[in-house]
């Protein structure tokens, strides 16, 4: 699963001196509100594929 980290937490996440980054993993409600979940095709799981069609909704009646 990808890590969704707001830009204001990037420096703290990349700080090599930080010993416990887990506090940074708490969900950011504002950021989560902007995300859109959508079903996609199996081609998304293959790194050799790279096209705009990869984000086309599948299996959903229009």
Domain that holds residue 23: 7-55
Please indicate, yes or no, if residue 14 is contained in any of the structural domains.
Answer: yes
| 60 in a structural domain | no
Residue 61 lies in a domain: no
Instruction: Note the pLDDT of residue 62.
Output: 46
pLDDT digits over 4-62, tens only?
888 888 998 899 998 887 878 877 788 788 888 888 888 998 999 999 888 888 876 54
Q: Which residue has the tokens 């594929």?
A: 49
Residue 38 belongs to some domain of the structure: yes
Query: Following CA atoms 4, 25, 6, 10 in sequence, which dihedral angle do they give, to the nearest 10 degrees?
Result: -110
The three-state DSSP-derived secondary structure of 9-56 is HHHHHHCCCCCCHHHHHCCCHHHHHHCCCCCCCHHHHCCCCCCHHHHC
Contact of 56 with 40, CB cutoff 8 Å: yes
Q: What is the pTM of this model?
A: 0.47
pLDDT value at position 11? Answer: 92
Domain count across the chain = 1
pLDDT score recorded for residue 60: 61
Determine, yes or no, domain membership for 19.
Answer: yes
């Amino acid at each position: 699963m990808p890590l969704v980290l707001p830009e204001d937490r990037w420096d703290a996440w990349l700080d090599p001196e930080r010993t416990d980054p887990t506090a940074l993993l708490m969900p950011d409600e504002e950021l989560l509100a902007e995300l859109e979940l959508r079903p996609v095709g199996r081609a998304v799981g293959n790194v050799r594929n790279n096209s705009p069609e990869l984000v086309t909704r599948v299996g959903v009646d229009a």
